Amino acid sequence: MARARADANAGVDRRALYRQGLAQSHRGELRSLTTLAGAHDVLQTAGDREGAGLAAAALLFTGHALQNFRRFEANAAAVDAVRSEGVAMPSRDDELVFLAGSLCAMLMLRPSDPTIDSCAERTLQLLELDVDVNLRFAAGRLLLYYTDPRENRELGHRVYGMLQSSVDDPALMPHRLGRWLNMLLRTASGAKELELMERAPNQARAFLQRHGDAELTT
């Protein structure tokens, strides 16, 4: 009987719910939080530590972008547990999801964490590689957030330059671009970056003409 159940489940794609939640997250759908939470629970129950870590990481940066911090500390703890085990992510996209979630948790809960700089550095390295464009903007947004209190203008300009070439990518979701532009406006204004303060509002206005966005409009 057990062998029969194992054979029946062999072809089950346990991470399908996670991928569905990540796609919803890229579109800015509030239900992505419920989908990703369900994926985390399913994957954790199935013993897929790597998959559960990815779902928890996606929940962190999704909640941050949507300003919904329910279960934030619990998700951060889940990500920390996977990090402590040294679980290796099999793809660049998976690694970027996990690093973005890790960076988000540290920025919000432990901004002086001794590993935050190395996490940001590796995230930046992945942005230069062939990774999903929506993940690039999700992670790039958090890198801008990372640079702001550190007044690391050089890094901020580098991140801006790396993502600027992809703003017209047809695969880039308006939600990801809108949240990126919103963070860009905040950090440029706070740092009194005159060059970016001239460019960013123009890009934001062009975006609003095409898509509209309540938060960005404000």
pLDDT in tens, 3-24: 444 434 444 689 999 999 999 9
pLDDT reading at 197 higher than 90 = no
Cα–Cα separations (whole angstroms), residue 72 to 69, 103, 110: 5, 13, 13
Residue 165: C-alpha distances to residues 119, 136, 162, 203 (Å)? 24, 12, 7, 13
DSSP symbols for 78-101: HHHHHHHTTPPPSSHHHHHHHHHH
Q: How far apart are CA 179 and CA 64, in angstroms?
A: 10
Neighbours of 67 (CB within 10 A): 7
Question: What percent of the chain has pLDDT above 70?
Answer: 80
* Cβ–Cβ under 8 Å, residues 22 and 98: no
- Give mean pLDDT, residues 54-73: 96
Overall average pLDDT of the 76-85 stretch: 94
Q: Which ranges of the chain does DSSP label H, i.e. alpha helix? A: 2-9, 16-26, 31-45, 49-66, 72-84, 92-109, 116-127, 133-150, 153-164, 174-190, 194-210, 214-217
Residue scoring higher pLDDT (200 or 18):
18
Q: Provide the pLDDT confidence category of residue 208 given band limits of 50, 70 and 90.
A: low
Map out the domains of the chain as residue ranges. Answer: 13-217
Q: Output the pLDDT for position 164.
A: 85
Which pTM does this prediction carry? Answer: 0.85
Asked if residue 84 has pLDDT above 60, the reply is yes
87, 52 Cβ separation under 8 angstroms: no
Block residue for tokens 């990090």:
83
pLDDT on residue 9: 47
Architecture of the domain whose range is 13-217: Alpha Horseshoe (1.25)
